[in-house]
Amino acid sequence: ELIDACKAIILDEVDVLLPPPTKSVRTSLDVDKKKSQERRRINMSKEQAERRDIAQKRKLAALKRKGDTDVTSGRAVSATERVLRAISLVTASPEQSPQILAGSATASRKTLDVLNKVLRNAENAGQANGGNDAMRKSQVKVIRPEVNESIAPANDDIVGDTNNPTIVEVASRAITVPSQVDHRYVSLSREEASSADAVMTAVAKATKFLQLKPQTTALLFVCGEFGRSKQNPSKPVANTKASPTKPKNKMSRNVQKKVLEAKKKAESMSGQPKSISARGACTKLASFGIDAQPLHVALGLEPNAAAADDQQESNNDSAGFLVTFEESARGLHLDDVDVVFVVGRPASAASYLHLAGRVGRCQTSEEGVTIRPGTVVSFCTKGGTKELEKWTKQIGGTAVEELVITS
């Protein structure tokens, strides 16, 4: 009944909802170019080809257990594609066909191709089962904001109607950060940039230097090297590769070399910055007199929090300093956000676009819909500043300026 009454489908952050199969779930069934596979197989040894076949069968079996594969083709199917297939199965007239709206700040041509492919697969499945085929009448259309500019063209450029000098240009750039957003950075030494305590101290100083108003909200995103630890570098990875047909003495030397390299890598990574938890960052900021709390606590996503945390949450209702991780930036909207602090190196320019996009958002006022100004403050070394300037240009931001904080 819910699908039958559906009038519109909104796919927010479509590049995440419909990603290409990752390496962890990619199988030979997801690749159409069999020739390239055979070419790679020729360059493999017999043991490597056998291990690859076993790994692919294991991945496909895991997908079947989860129910994430197509029954007929065996191809990996995302949850979003299953919803679109269910909608295409509903018999309805073309006038009642639901409208699909998909969007993302970092959507690319590849995302559009994936979306069109998913819709075609959903329509084919629905048509095979006697469903609605109205969705396949046309492909997805790209909508970009229009830029109205009154330009007086030169005499050589006058074409067509010369009485109307207004030219409507379609922005060729993807979604960008508004010019009302200021990009700032705090320069740190290598030692300070690799120390969580030093970085959080710089955040506290920058907060006091900016003199945030009590009614505003500040967001702190923990990124990169300070983010969640995904692996334990102290434990060298054991060599599980099968022994190829090589002399035993030479193979023994190769194994010893790999073990030595793994130990050196573990020793070098032991000096890398330790990850910062959301509660740890809040505790560090509290030592400087700044009331902060994790974003998931502020949103009520931790119902089983301790009594002390509940008391702290009630005290921080008017603080508005929230701490979260880089992955939480997509689709996050909070009113009255004036400052975004970026601790650590973001994954890419696209990730920095999502981080900086938490400020400079639209708001309603007496003048109508306006853009609320904001500031993005990054903490990096002098070498990281060049990369930050490059990213800021890519997302259409203003020039990056240094934020000098007094000690």
pLDDT of residue 341: 95
Count the residues in the chain: 407
Pair of tokens at residue 32: 């159409």
Decide which of 3.40.190.10, 3.40.1450.10, 3.40.50.300, 3.40.50.150 is the CATH code for 181-229+272-402: 3.40.50.300
pLDDT of residue 149: 43
pLDDT of residue 62: 72
Nearest to 336 by CA among 360, 312, 352: 360
pLDDT of residue 43: 67
- Beta strand 181-187 pairing with 374-380: parallel
Say if CB 337 and CB 359 are below 8 A apart. Answer: yes
Say if CB 250 and CB 261 are below 8 A apart. Answer: no
Residue 298, Cβ neighbours under 10 Å: how many? Answer: 21
Pair of tokens at residue 211: 């003199």
pLDDT of residue 228: 65
296-302 contacts: CB < 8 A, separation 24 or more?
296/324, 298/322
Per-domain residue ranges of the chain: 8-137, 181-229+272-402
- Residue 379 forms beta bridges with which residues? 186, 343
Chain mean position to CA 52: 30
Instruction: Give the DSSP per-residue string, 315-333.
Output: HTTTT-EEEEEGGG-TT--
Q: Which residues contact 389 (CB under 8 A, 6 or more apart)?
A: 399, 400
State the Cα–Cα distance between residues 85 and 82, nearest whole angstrom: 5
Q: Which residues contact 49 (CB under 8 A, 6 or more apart)?
A: 41
Q: Which residues contact 91 (CB under 8 A, 6 or more apart)?
A: 130, 131, 132
Q: Which residues contact 386 (CB under 8 A, 6 or more apart)?
A: none
Amino acid code (one letter) for 305: A
Say if CB 13 and CB 41 are below 8 A apart. Answer: no
pLDDT of residue 222: 92
As a dihedral over the C-alpha atoms of residue 224, residue 226, residue 228, residue 232, rounded to 10 degrees, the angle is 100
Nearest to 212 by CA among 199, 203, 223, 201: 203
Could you read off the pLDDT tens digit of each residue along the chain, which spans 407 residues?
556 667 778 888 888 787 655 554 444 444 444 555 565 666 677 777 788 788 877 877 776 666 566 655 556 677 777 777 777 766 455 556 677 888 888 777 788 888 888 888 777 766 665 555 555 555 677 776 554 443 334 444 434 444 444 433 333 346 788 889 999 999 998 888 888 889 999 999 999 888 887 777 899 999 988 876 555 444 444 455 555 555 545 556 777 777 777 776 665 555 556 778 889 899 999 998 888 999 988 888 776 655 445 545 444 444 489 999 998 888 888 888 899 999 998 988 888 999 999 998 888 878 888 888 999 999 998 888 899 998 888 888 888 899 888 76
Say if CB 339 and CB 349 are below 8 A apart. Answer: no
Taking the complete model, does pTM exceed 0.75, yes or no?
no
Residue 322, Cβ neighbours under 10 Å: how many? Answer: 25
Pair of tokens at residue 217: 């909200």
Nearest to 20 by CA among 100, 117, 106, 104: 117
pLDDT of residue 40: 61
Nearest to 360 by CA among 222, 186, 183: 183
Chain mean position to CA 114: 17
Amino acid code (one letter) for 3: I
Say if CB 38 and CB 5 are below 8 A apart. Answer: no
Residue 13, Cβ neighbours under 10 Å: how many? Answer: 16
State the Cα–Cα distance between residues 113 and 47, nearest whole angstrom: 36
